[in-house]
Structure formats: structure tokens, C-alpha cells
Amino acid sequence: MDEINVLQFAEYKRERRKITAITAYDAPFAKIMEEAGIDLVLVGDSVGMAVHGRPDTLSVTMEEMILHGRSVASAVTRPFVAVDMPYMTFQASKELAAQNAVRLVKETGAKAVKVEGGVKVASAIRAIVEAGVPVIGHAGLLPQSVHEIGGYKAQGTTAQSARVVMEDALAAEEAGAFMVVLEAIPAELGRSITGALGIPAIGIGAGPHCDGQILVMHDMLGLSTGRLPRFVKTYANLREQAVAAARKYADEVRSGAFPTDEHSYHAKNEGEGRK
């Protein structure tokens, strides 16, 4: 199986071949995404909410990203694996940004990192790229800035805010990013930014004109609870299926229907031998 490398994404954009991306946080689900033919698996800091049940992504640590990143990167061959840089691991100084990015790829086996922001983090992006680590930028709704922007709201909905999102995406490209994620912005703005960028733009709530799409795996598979953003499409209802399966198991344990002889061991001298 050929591994996807950083150069192929530029080729996909040139060929207008849509890039498929999804988040994953552990080996079994990463393998499922590989089997499904997903191009890019992002170990997002959304792990803090999707897996650890926290209210936001701000408390996610380097150690947590390394643990989840290593599980994903070691499980797959073909998809390109990128890991999110947690809050405050790249904002304070470009030296710290480069150090943390190198640590993330060295200790996980991922091929790239993602940083939230554009203009404000351009020097960090440049330093990470100079250290030899490919970078994905992220413009529009920046979950790590949730308190600054007053909630998980669509961005770029006014002329001035649209300019800020466009400038962030362009600044990420200018600083050396090879791809930009555009989150929760009007579809028309998604189209303009995708057209203005030489690098691929991957949308999550940025309309159909981006070079590719990404969703949070737990949302897409119906594993999340609570209200989902407008941009989510749920393709399965795994939570319902899991609850039904666990309920059936509990009923069978209570009634004695499980385990049966089929699931039991026997001593060798008891006829059938070890199962």
C-alpha cells in the first residue's frame, strides 16, 4: 500500500481530486479509516472533548496528544497522519513551537502537525517548517480561542471578519503551511479562500467548494452526545447500536442466557477437552 506524502495533496488540488480527511484517536478506529480509503487522519485536540469528555480543548496536553498520536500513526500505512498542537504549545514563542512540533512527530510517528491560527502564529509556523516539520494551518472558527470569541460560532460572517479569515489562511500559506483547515465559515468565503490559496483548503463547515472535507469521527459515526454543529452529517448511529448491544449483554447475564457451553472451558479429562 503506497503511503500518502505531503506532495500528493498539492497534486490532488491541481487535479481537483477531493481530499478526504477525518479525525481518529486510537488504533482500531484509525485502521477503520484506512480501510475506508481516507487520505488524511488528523489526531485532533478534539480528543479532549470527543474521548475525554471535557467541555473544550484547552486542557489537552502534549502527553495526551503523543499517546493518541502514537496509537494512530502506528496503526496505519496509507493515510497521512497529522497531530494537533495543543493550546499554548506554539503560541508563546517560535522556539517552543518548533521544539514541541519536533517532539510530536518524533514521539508519535505522525508526518505533520496542525496549528490553529494564521497571522498571529505565522512566525511559529515558519519556525516549525524550518525545523523540518510540515504544518497544516487552521483558520475561521478556532476552538482554542473559544473564550476570546465567546463560543463556538461561525466566523467570517461580516465583511471585516471575512477579511480576517482570508488573511489568516493566506498568512499560513505564506509562512510555509502545506494545507489549511477552514472551520465554520460561509460557503462563499470557503470558495474564495480555496481559490486564493495555492495549497489545499480542507473544510469543516466551510461549504462544498473546498479542496477536501474533514469531520470529527465521533460526530460522523453518531458516537457524540449533545447538540452537534450544523456542519455535521451523521453517517451511522454507533452509539445507539452500542447501547442496544450492551443492554442485550446485561439482559443475558441476568437471565443466565450468557455464557453458554459454547463460551465455556472444560477440563481436558471431561471429554471435549480445552476449547
The residues assigned a catalytic role are 183
| By CB under 6 A, residue 23 contacts ligand KIV | yes
Window of 39-47, 72-80, 223-231, 265-273 that interacts with ligand KIV by CB under 6 A:
39-47
Window of 44-52, 101-109, 167-175, 240-248 that interacts with ligand KIV by CB under 6 A:
44-52
DSSP string, 233-265: -----HHHHHHHHHHHHHHHHHHT-SS-GGG--
CA distance 59 to 43: 16
Window of 40-48, 64-72, 101-109, 256-264 that interacts with ligand KIV by CB under 6 A:
40-48
Instruction: Choose between 45 and 64: whose C-beta lies nearer to ligand KIV.
Output: 45
| By CB under 6 A, residue 169 contacts ligand KIV | no
| By CB under 6 A, residue 200 contacts ligand KIV | no
| By CB under 6 A, residue 46 contacts ligand KIV | yes
- The answer for residues whose C-beta is within 8 angstroms of residue 242's C-beta and 6 or more apart is 223
State which of positions 78-137 bind ligand KIV (CB under 6 A): 84
Residue 22 is inside which H or E element, if any? strand 19-23
Residues, the chain, total? 275
| By CB under 6 A, residue 39 contacts ligand KIV | no
Shortest CB 114 distance to ligand KIV, Å: 6
- The answer for residues whose C-beta is within 8 angstroms of residue 84's C-beta and 6 or more apart is 42, 43, 44, 45, 46, 60, 65, 113, 114
Residue 180 is inside which H or E element, if any? strand 179-183
Answer positive or negative: Cα dihedral of 158, 164, 167, 171.
Answer: negative
List 216, 220, 221, 223, residue binding ligand KIV (CB under 6 A): 216
CA distance 57 to 51: 11
Residue at shortest CB range from ligand KIV? 44
Size of the site for ligand KIV (CB under 6 A): 10
Q: Is the peptide bond before 229 cis (omega within 30 degrees of 0)?
A: no
Shortest CB 42 distance to ligand KIV, Å: 6
Instruction: Choose between 171 and 220: whose C-beta lies nearer to ligand KIV.
Output: 220
Residues that bind ligand KIV (CB under 6 A): 23, 42, 44-46, 84, 181, 204, 214, 216
